Amino acid sequence: MEITKKNKYFYSTYFSLLIIRYFLYSLSYIYIPQYYMKNPHILFILTILCAFFTTIFSNIFLQGIGFYTMENTPSNWVKEDVKIDTASLKNFSMSVKSVAKKLSPSVVSIIVSKDVQTYKTDPFGFFYEPSGTIRKKVGGGTGFFITKDGLMLTNKHVVSNTQASYTIITAWGEEFTGKILAFDPTTDLAIMQAYDGNGKKLDECEPVSFIDNTTSLEVGDFLIAIGNALAEFNNTVTFWVVSALNRTIEAGDINTNETELLSGLIQTDVAINPGNSGWPLVNLDGKVIGINTAIASNATGLGFAIPLSEKEVTYLVDSVQKTGTIKRAFVGVRMISLNPRLAKNLNLPLSYGDMLAESPDAIVKNSPAEKAGLESGDIITEAAGITIGESYSLRDVIKDKIPGDKITLKVWKKKTQKIEVVELILEEK
């Protein structure tokens, strides 16, 4: 029989203490203790000697009866584990370095500059008057190429100042001019175009690749992020894991003091700092799974990213190239998000879901909702497999969908008083 390192010392200590106990117990019944009680230092020395020899003999006894063998010593275990872990860590390190090297040419730093008013004053500082303007750096972030001709994706809040100018700096130090093409109306995304010094589009950019479907993401997946840390240290590489999925937050822009409700986000503990906005989040296959958008200001290692897929980004690019704007999908309904109190006041059988408003204009004519047979008073309880509640609405579900996507709804129909399954095809707004 073989035992673990922990059990080995347990049995050894147990037998040692047992023998010491009976040794001290026996001393209390013979004459010798009377002498030792008058000389306690001798009793102490005898006890130590007894414990020492008992430990040795108990170890010999346990080994003799086969409780453990020399082949299972802790030194052999540690040596074997270290050998296996070293190989695994080397492979993992090679994967991270390979992805970082592959992605670096696609990631750019975005420098935000603006004309700032300057003033002159008298020697005593009593009077101020404008003296002109100077071009000054007022912010920065990160972006990455999504087409060969220099089309880039970044966060809306990074390039929200339409009065500012934007300089694009690549990993090799090349500088280009950035122009805002479109803002996403439903989430914190923006598309920019990079131009060379002659005002021409670039033609040799290395675009990133995206995952096919964001539903493949799982908590615990390893991630790599590359970007412009603190708007100063360009192409900084960091990594860790997906901490959670489908988070909803209210994000605020410290420059404009505006807030935006963002849902369906990836939570990650990748090291994120101010200036990291727009970093691509990449899996170990080198494919982008999302874009960093916000951090928790009162916490460490708590960031949030917007999930991205090949299909969604392709649609965004096509939309901008065809219309100059980003058009999103819509359902065509006016809704009220239910809660237990509201449901009780309205005497409804369900306390959650999105209820279609009971008004003549609740359903837009010829909209996807009307074509799917939705009517005023119906309650949508589930969409695309996601339960609709106070923290997650139908708008959140379709936010990242594109026109042409089909979603399955579970709807409590007011007419039949039953929950039915409804197929709905999203259209362009």
Catalytic residues: 157, 188, 277
Tokens linked to 53: 């020899």
CA distance 163 to 426: 36
CA distance 180 to 152: 10
Taking CA atoms, 367 is separated from 125, 373, 411, in Å, by 64, 10, 17
Task: Identify each DSSP E strand in 196-257 by its residue range.
Answer: 222-229, 233-252
**Which are the contacts of 45, defined by CB distance < 8 A and separation ≥ 6?**
none
**Per-residue H/E/C for 50-69:** HHHHHHHHHHHHHHHCCCCC
Tokens linked to 59: 């170890």
Tokens linked to 234: 């360009």
Q: Are 205 and 256 in contact (CB under 8 A)?
A: no
CA distance 176 to 110: 10
- What does 361-384 look like in DSSP terms, one character per residue? TSB-TTSHHHHTT--TT-EEEEET
Q: Which of 258, 259, 257, 244 lies closest to 303, judged by CA? A: 244
